[in-house]
Structure 1
Amino acid sequence: MGNPVEVIQSVKLDDENSTLILLDQTVLPNETIFLELKEMEDVWDAIYQLKVRGAPAIGIAAAYGVYLGTKKSNAETYEALYEDFKKVKEYLASSRPTAVNLFWALNRMEDRLKKEAGKNVSEVKAALKEEAELIRAEDEKICESIGQYALSLLETGWGILTHCNAGTIATAKYGTALAPIYLGQEKGYDFKVYADETRPLLQGARLTAWELQQAGVDVTLICDNMASIVMKEGKIQAVLVGCDRVAENGDTANKIGTSGVAILAKHYNIPFYVCAPLSTVDLECKTGEDIHIELRPSEEITSKWYEKPMAPKDVKTYNPCFDVTDHSLITGIITENGIAYAPFNETLPKMFQSNK
């Protein structure tokens, strides 16, 4: 048997002090700082600036955030409280347009608020807190289930390539794409993980390599453009990635560079798996063409991680945050209710009907 998982809870609620506590992922691995946020402007900024990141963690943060924002309301009636809730919800929803979990969590909180119609304000606020806590607890169970399904596809000693960070700090626990790594670690699978650095924000280098190393996993950091050679050399037997949105046809938006990894995996005949909680699957989004791709500031490419700028002053940049991996490149989409295979427009809806 292996070692127990090192659990890092990246999103916490301090209800007594009306505070959202977030692990600041922008300063890792050099510093471990937990932010204490009381104002909605700070919560919005934390989501936008990727201080909290990872689709499930964003959803949890949004749920806690909209609860805390509504908790501050001085409304004396349900109707007035609802109006205050909607203002907070709309504000937080504007922080990250691509991550579907943000909207999923906010909409779920609104659904709970609607169910509390007719109750007094204090009861409604308590219900919103309960719903936010449920979202966090459910995500922990979802991640473990995704990990178990994914682990069933892997063998002891395999080399696993991952891109960006879909680990425990991006979720309630275990992560999505890293969940089978952690569960395998506990069971002595002895995986050899290769983590792409994931330019330009370096989530693989700063976050994945850091948390796997903390957990005692055998992890090797590589530059993004080294994925091809480690595949060619036979070091990789499977690719596992997370995602921010899955369209009905199986097209998947994930951190920029994921599509290229999938193309390489196809060339080298290596299975490419997307680990996606059902909250990330958007059946209203028909194809990847319908997914909005967020553009990020140029300094993330030119100067953010350097002591001095590493590009000519005022050079034009193009910095999309995500790309879309075509469904034809995806071997399987692993959800908490099972593994969907092509044709995804038939199998993904069935995942929602499963009671496993």
Structure 2
Amino acid sequence: MQTLRTTSLEVRNNQLWILDQQALPQQKNWQPAHSVAQLVDHIHALRVRGAPLIGLSASLLLALLAEQGATRPELAEALNVLRAARPTAVNLMNNLDRMKTALAEHDYDAALSAEALRLVAEDKQLCDNIACAGSTLVKPDSQLLTHCNTGGLATAGVGTALGVIAYAHQQGLVKNVWVDETRPLLQGGRLTAWELGELNIPYQLITDSMAASLMARGVVDAIWVGADRIAANGDVANKIGTYSLAVLAQYHGIPFYVAAPHTTLDRLCPNGGAIPIEQRAASEVTGVAGSFGSVQWAPANAAVYNPAFDVTPAALISGWVLDTGVVTPAQVQEGIFQP
């Protein structure tokens, strides 16, 4: 396969490498993802994260394994293992469905390689389209609030919600970005703050519980988030803490936008209640770990509830910004996301 590099993925010498997002921003470490076991471990540990990026990394690995001589049955098994690595993020399933079709081709190694590269190129274009469509909703001198990380670290391109913000900033529309820390894993504090700094976009980092006070003060003009899955009725699964922002936004009369590619849409999922929500390790809540080491602040035997995602009902969403354009609440009610 040709040499390829995005913000977080690299293919060189027919091997896949990933930028360890758990080590950022203190360290930029490229880790090998040469096997299914390695990539699944990276996904579980969130060294690879972001719904689009997870799907792309799995697709690229399958293609590389095929080029290295893996048989059709071996690749089919690898595909199934990768598919189960992140149950909430539907991009993984959508991408692997296309790779499964390529695997059925007579010359499957070439077909898998072509399809994986096509998915990467498409994701870059999807991000550009989302950024362009979403920026039309950003008003001059805006103060925007975002949650989790939705930039180039999570995609092959400029990102989804953060791509919108970056494009709007280039047009001189963004005054400031409020960045939720995004607990318990701090993707906002570690990753979004780093990306905004790299892009020279003015931002201020806040803890998640500070968002309400900012809205009450009138210094939040709109909220922009990404999505891990959009159900057919418009409900959205995203990083835990998104739902509370949507409730607060409605109370304060603030637009709440979801930016995502069409690969995040699951037309066969009727509503948010049908979206599987991943439960993660208690250690993520009882303490913190990173490139700096680890510390525990809760009692060792503390009982923990730690869902990685929550579901925001469609009724709380002002608009869904896809690569195909802006979808309104009226269009969702009319069934635009239905199969």
TM over 0.5: yes
Q: Secondary structure at the match of 1:169?
A: coil
Give 1:30's aligned amino acid. Answer: Q
Contact 2:233 2:335 in 1 (8 A): no
For residues 145 and 175 of structure 2, what CA distance do their matches in structure 1 show? Answer: 10
Deviations 1:147-194 (A, max 9, x none): 111100111210000000011110011100011211123222233100
Aligned mates of 1:13, 1:346 — CA distance in 2? 43
Number of equivalent positions: 331
Amino acid at match of 2:322: T
- What's the RMSD between the two structures over aligned residues? 1.7
Deviation at 1:308, TM superposition (A): 3.2
- 1:148 equivalent to 2:121? Answer no
Q: How does 1:22-33 map to 2 (within 5 A)?
A: 22-33=18-29
- Aligned equivalents of 2:96 and 2:165: distance in 1? 30
Among 85, 97, 100, the residue aligned to 1:95: 85
For the residue of structure 2 that corresponds to 1:304, the secondary structure is strand
Tell me the residue number matched to 2:325: 338
Aligned runs of 1:215-294 on 2, under 5 Å? 215-294=199-278
Deviation, structure 1 residue 21: 1.5
Query: Hey, what does 1:10 align to over in structure 2?
Result: 8
Specify the SS of the correspondent of 1:323: strand
Could you tell me how far apart the structure 2 residues matched to 1:348 and 1:333 are?
11
Matched residue of 1:170: which SS?
Answer: coil
- Provide the rounded CA distance (Å) in 2 between the counterparts of 1:270 and 1:37: 42
Residue in structure 2 matching 1:202, options 177, 186, 199: 186
TM-score, normalised relative to structure 2:
0.94
Change (3 A) 1:74 1:136: closer
User: Equivalent residue for 1:64?
Assistant: 60
Give the letter for the 1:346 counterpart: E
Query: Does the 8 A contact of 1:252 with 1:326 survive in 2?
Result: yes
Paired residue for 1:3? Answer: none
Does the C-alpha gap of structure 1 residues 223 and 109 become closer, same or farther in structure 2, counting only changes over 3 Å? same
Structure 1 match to 2:150? 166
Task: Give 1:98 deviation, angstroms.
Answer: 0.8
Q: Name 1:4's counterpart in structure 2.
A: none
Q: Percent identity?
A: 40
Unaligned runs of at least 5 residues, structure 1 = 1-6, 76-80
Inter-CA distance 175–292: structure 2 relative to 1 (3 Å threshold): same
After TM superposition, the score normalised by the length of structure 1 is 0.89
2:38 is matched with 42
Tell me the CA shift for residue 68 of structure 1: 2.1
- Specify which structure has the higher proportion of strand: 2
Q: Which residue of 1 aligns with 2:313?
A: 326
Q: Does 1:20 align with 2:10?
A: no
Aligned partners of 1:333 and 1:341 also within 8 Å: yes
Pair 1:111-2:109 in alignment: no
State the alpha-carbon separation in 2 of the partners of residues 126 and 158 from structure 1.
47
Contact 1:69 1:88 in 2 (8 A): no
**In the alignment, structure 1 residue 317 sits paired with structure 2 residue 301:** no
- Alpha-carbon contact 1:248-1:345 (below 8 Å) kept: no
| Contact 1:70/1:88 (8 A) holds in 2 | no
Distance 1:59 1:345, change over 3 A: farther
User: Is the contact made by 1:40 and 1:69 (CA closer than 8 Å) also made in structure 2?
Assistant: no
Change (3 A) 1:315 1:131: same
